[in-house]
Chain A
Amino acid sequence: MLTLEISQLHKHYGNHCALNGTDLTVRPGEVYGLLGPNGAGKTTLMKTVVGLQRPTSGEIRLFGKPYERGLLTQVGALIEMPGLWPHMNAVEHLRIHARLRGVPEQWVERALDHVQLHEVQNRWVSRYSLGMRWRLGIAIALLPQPQFLVLDEPTNGLDPVGIREMRGLVRSLAGSGITVLISSHQLSEIAQSCDRVGVLAAGQTHYEGDLDGLAVGGDLEAGFFRILESAGCGVR
């Protein structure tokens, strides 16, 4: 049973076509990297998977079942920047989301453990670094102990230390059996974190498979740009 199966997904905003027949499959327990240039449709795809956007047409199956909002109880998501309240601390954030998601308050501690935010757990979020904000966002997404975690460009804006921490976190989540769908436009990040990748360009999937299949002569970047060129996306 696949964790996520997307077939011929379309999403139109007026005349603009953000997703144009996207296909995707994410297997249980893997870290799946969604690659693509800016505007490829990665965020739209992820928003559609977690119910923030409605598809124009196409099919989404979650955990082997036709998509319905009730299945989102098993999903954690962090789309774009974490939406946090500046005058609240990490524990207060987690308690609010725990109440909304119907998880016991004891799980707040577990989520904090995952992202190692104990030292600053009582500090207002307005005084957090970007990396801390991302970690808190992931802690919120992990609160219900989801089977499937969706992360949209979680290394955006992070310094090298933050990027390495994020990579370690993603790998540790995968080690604990959580399926992760992660988007990025940084090839090196995806190469170090993911088991399989999909390349999205102009709203269509142009490659799906393992990293070796994407690389050309061992060069991942060359393979990526070759796919973009074949997709008609000009490479400057």
Chain B
Amino acid sequence: MPPSARAHDGPRIPRDYPSLWTVTLTELARMRRGFLPMYALLAPIVIAVPLYLGSLFSPEGAPGHTWQVFSHVTLEFWGVLVPMTAGLTTALSVRADQDAWRLMFSYAVPRWRYLVGKFAALSMLNLVSSTVLLVILAGGAALNGTFKSAAGNIFAASYLPWAGGLATTALALLISMMWGLGPGIAVGIAGLFSGALIADKSFWYAIPSAWPMRVILPVAGISPNGIALPPHSPLADTSVIPLVLTLSVSLMTVVLVAGSLHMNKKEV
């Protein structure tokens, strides 16, 4: 049982034994300023707002199809942005902490909590980003009078890629922890390409960073290049969604367990 802080200073708190939630909160506190929160909030805006304006005046969107054009192109971009964001934000977050590890790892805190806490915080940040996208998509649908019919798809298209990207976040985290900034960002860049090039291939399930795009395809009814799927396309089969979610959560769990073992042995 870990020792506790002195009683006269308040309730007894176990020393060097923060809950996972406490560790996650400390991670979020560190992510409050700088590039990461700006990126989380602005990335969906920077992508979606110009695309909306473009769709208003595009030849395809002008004759009453603004919502379709806007949502298709936006979600196409989002499908490749999710894994890239996972790699980029994770690598930068780990880099920001590398010097502080000399302090944090000298505590008796179970080290796996640092890893899982960071993963949880990054996932929350990505969830915020997805929520911003949801708001923009909902706004676009409302402006075009299609919100009611599109609400379910908007919700699914915003949050399912996030869930499909959990495994990529965990992978990028482990790789960044082991090898640093460059390889972590490389995971993101690989995700950018794999989303566009592999999501519609038969072996998509073997490439985790293609999973966010793969889950978007049936929900948005698009191919990876943003064009609407033809009728009866196999890519429109929604049975892929539970498979993606199961794969993502399973791989995430495996990677976090492996990462925790790595953290226990890590020397700084």
A residues with a Cβ closer than 8 A to B are 47, 50-54, 69-75, 77-85, 87-88, 92, 95-97, 99-104, 106-107, 137, 140-141, 144
- B23-42 interface (Cβ within 8 A of A): 23, 25-26, 29-30, 33-34
Question: Measured between alpha carbons, how far is A14 from B29 in the docked complex, in Å?
Answer: 38
B65 CB-CB contact with A under 8 Å: no
B13, B14, B103 — most chain A CB neighbours (10 Å): B103
B10 CB-CB contact with A under 8 Å: yes
The answer to whether A73 touches B15 (Cβ under 8 A) is: yes
Say which residue of B22, B98, B106 sits within 8 Å of A52 (CB atoms).
B106
- For the complex of A and B, the 7 pairs showing the least CB-CB separation, nearest first, are A83-B99, A83-B100, A50-B106, A73-B15, A87-B33, A102-B13, A77-B106
Say which residue of A79, A81, A85, A99 sits within 8 Å of B106 (CB atoms).
A79
Question: Measured between alpha carbons, how far is A218 from B51 in the docked complex, in Å?
Answer: 79
The answer to whether B16 touches A73 (Cβ under 8 A) is: yes
Say which residue of B2, B10, B30, B106 sits within 8 Å of A106 (CB atoms).
B10
Say which residue of B18, B34, B96, B105 sits within 8 Å of A99 (CB atoms).
B18
B5 CB-CB contact with A under 8 Å: yes
What range describes how many residues of B lie at the interface? 35 or more
- B227-268 interface (Cβ within 8 A of A): 265, 267-268
Question: Measured between alpha carbons, how far is A137 from B109 in the docked complex, in Å?
Answer: 18
The answer to whether B107 touches A85 (Cβ under 8 A) is: no
Question: Measured between alpha carbons, how far is A100 from B267 in the docked complex, in Å?
Answer: 19
Question: Measured between alpha carbons, how far is A75 from B129 in the docked complex, in Å?
Answer: 40
**With A87-B34, A100-B26: A70-B105 Cβ-Cβ less than 8 Å:** no
**With A51-B106, A52-B106, A83-B99: A99-B268 Cβ-Cβ less than 8 Å:** no
Min Cβ gap A108→B in Å is 11
Min Cβ gap A19→B in Å is 13
The answer to whether A92 touches B29 (Cβ under 8 A) is: yes
Min Cβ gap A187→B in Å is 26
The answer to whether B15 touches A102 (Cβ under 8 A) is: yes
Question: Measured between alpha carbons, how far is A54 from B267 in the docked complex, in Å?
Answer: 7
A69 — which chain B residues lie within 8 A by C-beta?
108
B104 CB-CB contact with A under 8 Å: yes
B63 — which chain A residues lie within 8 A by C-beta?
none
Min Cβ gap B93→A in Å is 11
B103 — which chain A residues lie within 8 A by C-beta?
77-78, 82-83, 97, 137, 140-141
Q: Beta-carbon contacts of B69-105 to A below 8 Å, as 1s and 0s?
A: 0000000000000000000000000001111111111
B23 — which chain A residues lie within 8 A by C-beta?
100
Say which residue of A87, A95, A97, A101 sits within 8 Å of B15 (CB atoms).
A101
B17 CB-CB contact with A under 8 Å: yes
Min Cβ gap A192→B in Å is 26
B64 — which chain A residues lie within 8 A by C-beta?
none
Question: Measured between alpha carbons, how far is A77 from B99 in the docked complex, in Å?
Answer: 13
B102 — which chain A residues lie within 8 A by C-beta?
52, 77, 79-80, 83
